[in-house]
Chain A
Amino acid sequence: MNLEADPTSFIGQRPFAAATSRATRDAASVRENSIGPKLRASLRTKLLMAFLLIEMLLISVGVIGLLSLREADQRTNQVVALQHKIEAYRQMQHDTLRQLHGVSAALEFPDETTLAIALRQINQFGYDLDRVSFVAKDEVALLNQLREEYARFIAVVSHIVNLIRNGQTAEAKQSERAELGPLADKLERLTNQLVNRAEADMVAGIDVSRQTYSKSQLLVAAVALASLVLTLVLGHAISRSVINPVGVIHHGLNRLAAGDFSQRIEVRNHDELGELAAHVNSTCEELQQLYRSLEEASRHKSQFLANMSHELRTPLNAILGFSELMLDGIYGEPSEKMRSALERIQRNGRHLLGLINDVLDLSKIEAGQLQLSLADYSVEELISGVHTSVESLAAEKNLGLRIAVPAGLPPARGDERRLAQALFNLVGNAIKFTDAGEVRIEVEAKGKSLQFSVQDTGPGIDEPDQAKIFQEFQQVDNSITKVKGGAGLGLAIVKRIVEMHGGRIWIVSRIGHGATFSFSIPARLEQQATQT
């Protein structure tokens, strides 16, 4: 039975549970569209894949940069090579010119010195030609022509030198004019052609490398931008795949903690988070089943108690009825001893009946079978009714019984009989546990509320016990219970009645200084409060 200390609190949450589970389903159906969660891979694989992709992007940016650099380097080399070519060509032109000068000088001053200079110049051509053929391998046709022309030029120069040495200066001069001049012109034309071509190549090369530079600049920028966008998209996808489900699960667990067992979390992930959500759902399901069986057990218990107390009361009614008739002398005047015994039967029987009725009340309240019957009532009449029914109890124990109700209270609205029952229980308790002094019943109007207080001069209740006394079957001190009797149901019933009126009950007490039980309810209750 102690499994369900407060079954009404479960019952109260049902509509909330239904509403929130619908909300969860709606929210989940919106999330279905995201791509990430549907991926059938573990969380680790997903993260690894994302990082790999980002790494690949970084590598590709690096590779593209390196390739661009290499291309730029190649272009530079080409330009340098062209410059070398041009230099070589120029050198050749220069040497040709010097050869012409050398030959002229030899003709003017035909001595060995000038002749040696002219001949040395010829050797220079070999070197020049080697250099040109090295830097301008691609210009095969022009190079061959150049070689042939130079061979002829050298041959002519050699011939002239020989003529000079032989003293045939006139023939030499003739040969210089007729052959060497035109050959030199031709050579110059050829080398000029080479230079022009190389210069054109250089200009084109610089142009191309400029274009390549701006192209690779664009390419690197584009790839970097694309990587940035892709990384963002990837990050977003991962967060969708991880953070959203975590949020959903967190939300679900919060609901679970609040007692909503009917909800189901919808996480579409095929990874650890999906498994986690499935676990949460199966836990929910188990809790829900457990809750249902508890609810059913509670219902059975209430039904059992209701039936049982009815069955118990029937024979008790007969016991009370017959003993009353005997006391009234219907079967002949009883002796003094017999009367005393009959009175004990009556007293104990009524006590037992009170206990059974309390159990029935509580089980009916817990099963939600009790409805307040709301009507207008007079507070003064309510209190005087309670006063009348407890007067004799107080008088038996020589206790003072005082009442303080403000005059002229307007008609209140509520269930008068239940409120009388609540006050009767409180005052009955106060009288039961007080051995000397007085019990005071007080009513105060506080705005739209009425506050009822029952004050006694009894032993008082320790603070740790104050919270417990409103629970079923709880009494402060078992030794007192043995003397005073009672099953500890009275205050639980009072609490329920007050709560059904939308009010609250509390206690102010100190050991040795008595206790004051107070409850506050709406002065005019138009609708029964839903139980929480």
Chain B
Amino acid sequence: MSKRVLVVEDQEDNRQILRDLLANVGYEMIEAHNGEEALIAARTQSPDLILMDIQLPVLDGYEATRRIKAQADLRHIPIIVVTSYALSGDEEKARAAGCDAYVAKPYSARKLLETINRYLTVP
């Protein structure tokens, strides 16, 4: 059974890049467009990993991460937060929200895949 990655991203072009990237390595991609959809998908679709953008409509990435990590049965799902540019101070906030790792935009597709693989191959 292929690994399932929940991608929380409001930009269609960015979702398309991840779709192509993840399909290429044989991962299944579940999509959510905002923080609230992410909370529902995390519960109903039981993903193996969550890729969370920060700037999201309705509910932002920090809050979504905090709420998922606050639930005992979802806490084990690794969350990789995609922060906006480095100087913004997003990493500290992301870490405080309880994410497992973060990558800064613009991310290299190759390096992002390396990070994802690190969390998916280790049981």
Contact of B106 among A321, A371, A373, A417 (CB under 8 A): A321
Distance A417 CA – B88 CA, assembled complex (angstroms): 12
The 4 closest A-B pairs by CB, nearest first: A318-B13, A321-B17, A330-B24, A317-B106
Contact B108 A324 (CB under 8 A): yes
Distance A328 CA – B106 CA, assembled complex (angstroms): 17
Contact A330 B13 (CB under 8 A): no
Residue B89 lies at the interface, judged by CB distance under 8 Å to chain A: yes
Contact B105 A370 (CB under 8 A): no
Taking A318-B14, A418-B87 as given, write out 20 further A-B residue pairs in contact, using a Cβ cutoff of 8 Å, ordered by the A residue number: A310-B84, A313-B106, A314-B11, A317-B14, A318-B13, A321-B13, A321-B106, A321-B109, A322-B13, A322-B16, A324-B108, A325-B21, A328-B109, A330-B24, A357-B85, A364-B87, A364-B88, A371-B89, A373-B89, A373-B92
* Known A-B contacts A313-B85, A317-B14; A324 and B105 likewise in contact (beta carbons under 8 Å): no
**A386, chain B: closest CB distance, angstroms:** 15
Residue B20 lies at the interface, judged by CB distance under 8 Å to chain A: yes
How would residues 106 to 119 of chain B score, 1 for a CB under 8 Å from any chain A CB and 0 otherwise?
10111000000000
Residue B86 lies at the interface, judged by CB distance under 8 Å to chain A: yes
* Total number of B residues with any Cβ neighbor in A under 8 Å: 20
Contact A357 B87 (CB under 8 A): yes
Contact A417 B85 (CB under 8 A): no
* Known A-B contacts A321-B14, A364-B87, A373-B92; A353 and B106 likewise in contact (beta carbons under 8 Å): yes
Residue A361 lies at the interface, judged by CB distance under 8 Å to chain B: yes
**B122, chain A: closest CB distance, angstroms:** 24
Contact B17 A328 (CB under 8 A): no
Contact of A328 among B87, B92, B110 (CB under 8 A): B110
**A305, chain B: closest CB distance, angstroms:** 13
Distance A313 CA – B92 CA, assembled complex (angstroms): 21
Chain B hits for A417, CB < 8 A? 86
Q: Please list the residues of chain A having a beta carbon within 8 angstroms of any beta carbon in chain B.
A: 310, 313-318, 320-322, 324-325, 328, 330-331, 353, 357, 360-361, 364, 370-371, 373, 417-418, 421
Number of residue pairs spanning A and B whose beta carbons lie under 8 angstroms apart: 55
Contact of B110 among A314, A324, A353, A421 (CB under 8 A): A324
**B62, chain A: closest CB distance, angstroms:** 17
**B14, chain A: closest CB distance, angstroms:** 6
**B119, chain A: closest CB distance, angstroms:** 20
A/B interface sample: 9 pairs, CB < 8 A: A316-B106, A317-B14, A322-B13, A324-B110, A325-B17, A328-B109, A328-B110, A331-B20, A373-B89
Contact of B87 among A310, A316, A321, A361 (CB under 8 A): A361
Chain A hits for B89, CB < 8 A? 370-371, 373
Distance A421 CA – B21 CA, assembled complex (angstroms): 30
Contact B21 A360 (CB under 8 A): no
Distance A357 CA – B85 CA, assembled complex (angstroms): 7
How would residues 47 to 72 of chain B score, 1 for a CB under 8 Å from any chain A CB and 0 otherwise?
00000000000000000000000000
Chain A hits for B109, CB < 8 A? 321, 324-325, 328
Chain A hits for B11, CB < 8 A? 314, 318
**B33, chain A: closest CB distance, angstroms:** 15
Query: In this complex, what residue of A is CB-closest to B18?
Result: A321
Chain A hits for B13, CB < 8 A? 315, 318, 321-322
Query: In this complex, what residue of A is CB-closest to B24?
Result: A330
Q: What does DSSP make chain A's interface, helix, strand, loop or mixed?
A: helix
Distance A316 CA – B108 CA, assembled complex (angstroms): 13
Distance A321 CA – B109 CA, assembled complex (angstroms): 7
Contact of A313 among B24, B105, B108 (CB under 8 A): B105
Contact B87 A322 (CB under 8 A): no
Contact B20 A330 (CB under 8 A): yes
**B13, chain A: closest CB distance, angstroms:** 4
How would residues 75 to 114 of chain B score, 1 for a CB under 8 Å from any chain A CB and 0 otherwise?
0000000001111110010000000000001101110000
Chain B hits for A361, CB < 8 A? 87
**A256, chain B: closest CB distance, angstroms:** 37
Chain B hits for A330, CB < 8 A? 20-21, 24
Distance A344 CA – B102 CA, assembled complex (angstroms): 28
Distance A371 CA – B21 CA, assembled complex (angstroms): 35
Query: In this complex, what residue of A is CB-closest to B11?
Result: A314
Distance A310 CA – B87 CA, assembled complex (angstroms): 12
Query: In this complex, what residue of A is CB-closest to B89?
Result: A371
Contact A318 B87 (CB under 8 A): no
Query: In this complex, what residue of B is CB-closest to A329?
Result: B24
Query: In this complex, what residue of B is CB-closest to A362?
Result: B87
Chain B hits for A364, CB < 8 A? 87-88
**B69, chain A: closest CB distance, angstroms:** 22
Chain B hits for A325, CB < 8 A? 17, 20-21, 24, 109
**B24, chain A: closest CB distance, angstroms:** 5
**A180, chain B: closest CB distance, angstroms:** 144
Distance A417 CA – B109 CA, assembled complex (angstroms): 23
Query: In this complex, what residue of A is CB-closest to B87?
Result: A361
Query: In this complex, what residue of B is CB-closest to A356?
Result: B85
Distance A320 CA – B84 CA, assembled complex (angstroms): 15
Distance A54 CA – B85 CA, assembled complex (angstroms): 79
